[in-house]
């Protein structure tokens, strides 16, 4: 895939001038990150700990975070709306989270079957509608693998319906169909790994009904209620209810992947917000407010597969050395307590109101500069698209992304980490303030005043029409 720089080089001279100016300023502000990238490239594969963390000309390396701000190794401060890709719903180093971890330090980093795990599971069952039983894990990927395994054991079937534009972690069977064409997401994904994955367009109940009617081997339907990877298009209660009724009639397990939406768009997640209860749900990210913890939760009937002593035909193996991590469990227990208090105080409404203010402000600034920009907003999350394409999943996922990468890099130069340039994931936390929102909007306006993004987007749209 051509780099952002290569694509810009083929565009008009004024676009290359924009890129050069933004990159030169970035380099002048971040020599420490350049140094660490040079070192990292000799030790870390790709110079980072994950593909998403890299962006051109080199990634930022961060030294610390506090509240809604982070500081890089050069001492530059940023308003942080990436939040390490979402887990920090309470911001960096929240006092309640840090205090909870310190209170448990005499336990040690890990012990087997700690009472803290029992307390934490009870907290989940009190706020998540489907959660009669809970099993803890380390990542969203592990949680999805376990939920699907439970569904297959329960039904005795093999196929799983995955919707186009939905992301469910890094298991090979689901690294497909993040786009509208159903392609594999990267190399190394075999056809055999995807053989039991059935792809379906999201939001079209007739397509789902036809797909399920063509086979009696479907074990589960899994979905992300935010449709986050496909552009943050969200869901409608009516569609989710139709999916719920269809799966129930066919004895198919319905799984909500709430790794993104859990505790974020409502205290009880998307299932609470939309009023539709799945059989199983997966959680991560905000669950432990920055510590490493995930969970599968669901009705006892569907979670029974991991209960020791059950029927051998439905027995499901799931275990993990670090499922009992002290810091993670302590942080998660404190986080859920904090979310419950914030919910009682009406803080979710305030948080979503700030996200709406940010989305509306960005739209208006771009409109005033005659630069095409579409903003999707769901709860405290946003995604931007710099394109004149009709705003829906199929068109926007084909639109060039390099103009947006340049825009995010320009904002980084202004002290705003709205998103990593390779990500387009924007999150607000409970500790972001109105002053933060005003500051972000001020810098968005400054970037559009300083650089000719109308020419950038025009060049990208022309490239896309030729392609």
* Amino acid 463: pLDDT: 72
Domain residue ranges of the chain, discontinuous segments joined by +: 4-92+346-466, 107-344
CATH architecture of 107-344: 3-Layer(aba) Sandwich (3.40)
Distances in Å between the Cα of 96 and the Cα atoms of 64, 99, 184, 283, 286 are 18, 5, 41, 21, 14
Token couple for 277: 């209860």
* Amino acid 52: pLDDT: 86
Q: How far apart are CA 33 and CA 76, in angstroms?
A: 11
* Amino acid 465: pLDDT: 62
CATH of domain 4-92+346-466: 3.90.1150.10
Q: DSSP labels for 45-101? A: GGGSSSGGG--SS----EEEEEBTEEEETT--EEEESSTTTTT-TT-BT-HHHHHHH
The 3-state DSSP class for residue 43 equals coil
State the pLDDT confidence band at 66, using cuts at 50, 70 and 90. Answer: very high
Between 21-25, 46-50, 364-368, 448-452, the lowest mean confidence (pLDDT) is in 46-50
* Amino acid 312: pLDDT: 64
Closest listed residue to residue 346, CA positions, set 406, 288, 467, 430: 430
State the pLDDT confidence band at 7, using cuts at 50, 70 and 90. Answer: low
Share of the chain above pLDDT 70, in %: 96
Judge whether residue 237 has pLDDT over 70: yes
Q: Angle 13-29/453-466 helices, nearest 10 degrees?
A: 120
The pLDDT tens digits of the residues spanning 182-219 come to 999 999 999 998 999 999 999 999 999 999 988 789 99
Instruction: Check: CB of residue 295 under 8 Å from CB of residue 134.
Output: yes
* Amino acid 11: pLDDT: 57
Judge whether residue 20 has pLDDT over 60: yes
H-run or E-run covering 320? none
The 3-state DSSP class for residue 325 equals strand
State the pLDDT confidence band at 315, using cuts at 50, 70 and 90. Answer: confident
* Amino acid 16: pLDDT: 93
The pLDDT tens digits of the residues spanning 147-188 come to 999 999 999 999 999 999 999 999 999 999 989 989 999 999
* Amino acid 336: pLDDT: 98
Question: Which residue is listed with tokens 């394409």?
Answer: 389
Provide the whole-model pTM.
Answer: 0.95
* Amino acid 2: pLDDT: 46
Q: How far apart are CA 211 and CA 386, in angstroms?
A: 34
- Cα 96 to chain centroid, rounded: 24
């Amino acid at each position: 895939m051509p780099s952002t720089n290569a694509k810009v080089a083929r565009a008009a001279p004024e676009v290359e001038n924009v890129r050069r100016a933004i990159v030169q300023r970035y380099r002048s502000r971040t020599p420490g990150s350049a140094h660490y990238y040079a070192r990292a490239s000799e030790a870390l594969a790709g110079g980072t700990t994950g593909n998403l963390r890299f962006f051109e000309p080199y990634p930022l390396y961060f030294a610390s975070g506090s509240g809604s701000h982070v500081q890089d190794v050069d001492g530059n401060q940023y308003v942080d709306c990436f939040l390490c890709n979402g887990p920090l719903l309470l911001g960096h180093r929240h006092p309640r989270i840090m205090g909870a971890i310190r209170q448990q330090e005499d336990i040690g980093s890990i012990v087997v079957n700690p009472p803290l795990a029992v307390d934490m599971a009870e907290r989940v069952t009190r706020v998540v509608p489907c959660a009669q039983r809970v099993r803890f894990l380390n990542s969203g990927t592990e949680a999805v693998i376990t939920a699907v395994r439970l569904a297959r054991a329960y039904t005795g079937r093999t196929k799983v319906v995955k919707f186009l534009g939905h992301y469910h972690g890094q298991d090979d069977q689901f690294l497909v169909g993040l786009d509208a064409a159903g392609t594999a997401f990267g190399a190394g994904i075999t056809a055999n790994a995807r053989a039991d994955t059935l792809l379906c367009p999201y939001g079209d109940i007739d397509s789902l009904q036809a797909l399920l009617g063509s086979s009696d081997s479907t074990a589960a339907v899994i979905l992300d209620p935010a449709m986050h990877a496909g552009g943050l298009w969200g869901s409608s209660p009516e569609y989710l209810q139709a999916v719920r009724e269809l799966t129930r009639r066919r004895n198919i397990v319905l799984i909500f992947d709430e790794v993104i939406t859990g505790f974020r768009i409502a205290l009880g997640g998307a299932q609470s917000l939309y009023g539709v209860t799945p059989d199983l749900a997966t959680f991560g990210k905000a669950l432990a407010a920055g510590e490493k913890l995930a969970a599968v939760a669901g009705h006892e009937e569907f979670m029974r597969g991991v209960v020791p002593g059950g029927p051998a035909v439905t027995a499901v193996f799931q275990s993990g050395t670090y499922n009992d991590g002290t810091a993670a469990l302590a942080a998660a227990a404190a986080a859920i307590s904090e979310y419950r208090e914030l919910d009682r105080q009406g803080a979710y409404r305030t948080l979503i109101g700030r996200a709406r203010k940010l989305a509306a402000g960005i739209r208006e600034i771009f409109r005033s500069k005659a630069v095409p920009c579409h903003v999707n907003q769901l709860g405290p999350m946003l995604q931007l698209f710099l394109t004149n394409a009709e705003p829906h999943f199929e068109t926007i996922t084909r639109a060039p992304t390099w103009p947006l990468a340049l825009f995010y890099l320009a904002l980084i130069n202004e002290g705003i980490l709205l998103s990593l340039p390779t990500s387009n994931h924007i999150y607000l936390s409970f500790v972001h303030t109105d002053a933060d929102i005003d500051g972000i909007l001020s810098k968005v306006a400054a970037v559009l005043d300083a650089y000719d993004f109308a020419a950038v987007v025009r060049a990208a749209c022309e490239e896309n029409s030729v392609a």
